[in-house]
Each structure stands twice: as C-alpha cells, then as structure tokens.
Structure 1
Amino acid sequence: MTGAVAPPAVLVAAGGALGAVLRWRVVAATPTTEYPAGTLVVNVVGSFVLAALTFAAADTDTMLLFGTGACGAFTTFASFSVDVVALVDADRPVAAAGHALGNLLGAGLAVALAWLLVA
C-alpha cells in the first residue's frame, strides 16, 4: 500500500463515522415539519460533494475517506425511500411525488453543478 495514509477499511470507517454524524446534525437542525427536508438537503449536498471529488479526480485515499465513507454515510437512499412511502401512507401523494422528484432532480442538478465548477 504505497502512499496509503491508512488501510482502506479504516479510511472508509472514519469517513462513515464523519458522514453519519454530519447527517444526524443536518437532520436535527432542519425545522421539524411535515416534509422531510433534512433528507433532501443531505442527498443534494452529498451528491454535489461526491461529484466534485470525482470530477476533481481525487486520489484513492481521499475517495475512500470522503467519497465512499463520508458521502456514503451522509446521503441516505433508505431514508428517502421510507419518507416517500410514509408520505403516501399519510395520504399525501403530492408531497410524496414532490419529495421523490426533489431528491432525484436536486441530486442530478447538484452533480451537474459540480461538473460545471470542477471538471
């Protein structure tokens, strides 16, 4: 492992811990409403960060720590999916569709913005 700062599993674990704590803080700081805005925020921001790292051709250790670890734990497809189903279950299909589209379009636009800024 020439040039490696730490073993890959340690980098991913450290980044994962960072990302999980950051996600918790963002969701906790998001105003409590009937709309899961915290999930939307972490997914869009995480998509931008991961795309920026990718387009900047970050080295392997950086990608393991911040890409796989931090962004992997910060973003949350599972919470996004549960939020959509919960909104449907609460008889709020328009909010569910908006949340689904907001996450997908927001993440896609964040990646496009990173490409414009970094690539």
Structure 2
Amino acid sequence: MTALLVVLGAAVGAPARFLVDLAVQSRHDTPFPWGTLCVNLTGCLILGALSALPLPREAMALLGAGLCGALTTYSTFAYEAYRLAATGERLYAGLYVAVSLTAGLGAAWVGIALTRVLLG
C-alpha cells in the first residue's frame, strides 16, 4: 500500500515539475536553470512544512516521498551544474550550486518554522 501511495504522489509531482520548469525557464533567456531551481526550492519548502506536521506514515509516503520526491530532482541539478561548467559558464555553475544548497536548506527551514508558527 505504501508503495502505491508513493507512486500516486509521484504521478502528480513529476508532471508538475515538468510544467513548472517549462513555464519558468521559458521566461528567461539565460543558460541559468531557473526552472529546476524553482521546483527544487519549492519542494524543499513543502517537505520542510510536511516534516513539521504530525502526519501518519502513509501521508508522508504520498506527499513527502511521492510528491516532493518527484517534484524535486537532484540528478537534474547535478547534470545542469556540470553542463554549465562544461560549456564555460563556470560562474553560473558555481552560483547555481551555492544557491541551490543554501536556499534549499533555507527553504526547508522556513517551511518548518512557518508550519510551527501556524500550528501555534
């Protein structure tokens, strides 16, 4: 049952990632991967908020592992950082890695903090 919940969450998260990435990236004329950064930070924020809630294991499988796991993408992040560096965009590559890591941790922290404040 748990595996099915992960699959269901991923069935929403993966298309959402694709569509958000496409929409965000189409608005920028730069090699910087704004779309992937956007979905990864959003996923960090959501997963941080979820982790601060007293959710049952099944809900975390559906929303955490399934939805957020498919929404975010470490492999695309790594590939895009490599591609930027390999094509001579080393400044973009370094900024992308630094912003992804620091802002990702920050977004997770904000999600946790905001949820705790809202729950009182």
Q: Which residue of the partner structure matches residue 23 of structure 2?
A: 29
TM-superposed CA distance for 1:31, in Å, is: 3.1
Percent same amino acid among aligned pairs? 32
Amino acid paired to 1:40: L
TM-superposed CA distance for 1:41, in Å, is: 0.5
Amino acid paired to 2:42: V
Q: Which residue of the partner structure matches residue 100 of structure 1?
A: 97
Q: Secondary structure at the match of 2:25?
A: coil
- Gap runs ≥5 in structure 1: 1-6
Q: Which consecutive aligned stretches of 4+ in structure 1 deviate over 2 angstroms post-superposition?
A: none
Q: Which stretch of the first structure deviates more once superposed, 29-38 or 101-110? A: 29-38
- Give me the whole-angstrom Cα distance separating, in 2, the residues matched to 1:53 and 1:31: 27
Contact persistence 2:13–2:67 (CA under 8 A): yes
- Give me the whole-angstrom Cα distance separating, in 1, the residues matched to 2:18 and 2:47: 18
Query: Structure 2 matches for 1:20-99, cutoff 5 A?
Result: 20-32=14-26, 33-99=30-96
Q: Secondary structure at the match of 2:108?
A: helix
Alignment of 1:8 onto 2:5: no
- Give me the whole-angstrom Cα distance separating, in 1, the residues matched to 2:55 and 2:68: 14
- Give me the whole-angstrom Cα distance separating, in 1, the residues matched to 2:25 and 2:39: 14
Give me the CA root mean square deviation.
1.0
| TM-score under structure 1 length normalisation | 0.90
| TM-score under structure 2 length normalisation | 0.90
